[in-house]
Amino acid sequence: MMTILTDISYGDHERHKLDIFFPDNAKSESGVILYIHGGGWHSGDKSAHSEDAQHFCSLGYICASINYRYVSEEIHVSEELDDITSAIKTIKNECEKQGFNIDKLILSGGSAGAHLALLYVYTRKSDAAVNPVAACVYCPPVDCSASDFLLGISGEFEDWKYDILSKCSGVRITKETFLNEIPQTALKKISPAEYVSEKCIPTAVFYGKKDELIPPSHIHDFLEKLHNAGVKNDFLVYENSGHALDKDPEAKIQARNIIENYAEVYFVV
């Protein structure tokens, strides 16, 4: 059994809403698994991770899932990271109201949410009201500056590719200017792979072998960086799936087992 608090406001924007899932019998009274939804930075909803949150809540873990502002001409990835900071503060306060003194956080999410989770724990960790201790992410964009990033949507959706990267970075980017210095600098600034160091927290990556948006070389290079930096990491491949990770039910179970293991290990440290 569990108690679910929905649509808690953590700011003034209509997208500043979050859900928290409280187990009746908490296995950990100090840790929270936080989900950040995907949707190309410009769409999606916290309900995408309700099933995941309820699964881990049934195992005894407090979970939360947040909405955040979509990127636009005025809102960029940096503002989405600000939203995560505000959401974490509210989650901590709401947990205190329920009698939980939380001090550890595992961030998770898929696609754009995975990107935001990694970028947050690698660059904004010190801003968090609750200490991030691990990241477990699905199909994360890790190198937004690479020419083959989002290659699978080139052609019919090529204009969208450069439009969304412009909104994410806050710098106008076109096919012709993509490799120029200013766009490249802006895109590297929002690329998690650029921030890998020995200070990074343990990271698990789940990836579809047939991913049409994120080339496998990006993931492998990222994992190699983590390994060379001495960062604890785990990697699971969904052999039959693309970016949606919808063709490997056994891998879905394995991914959840990895997250559960991370919770068991890092919520008690």
Per-residue pLDDT tens over the stretch 100-137: 999 999 999 999 999 999 999 999 999 999 999 999 99
**Domain closes at, from 190, 211, 228:** 190
51 and 182, same domain (yes or no): no
17 and 28, same domain (yes or no): yes
CB under 8 Å to 174, separation ≥6 — which residues? 162
138 and 156, same domain (yes or no): no
**Structural domain of residue 181, as residue ranges?**
144-190
The answer on pLDDT for 154 being more than 60 is no
The answer on pLDDT for 157 being more than 70 is no
**Domain closes at, from 130, 160, 190:** 190
pTM summary value = 0.97
138 and 171, same domain (yes or no): no
User: If you search the block for the tokens 């969304």, which residue do you land on?
Assistant: 164
8 pLDDT tier (thresholds 50, 70, 90): very high
Per-residue pLDDT tens over the stretch 41-64: 999 999 999 999 999 999 999 999
Q: Count of domains in the chain? A: 2
Of 146, 144, 88, 91, which Cα lies nearest the Cα of 119? Answer: 144
Partner residues linked to 3 by β-bridges:
22
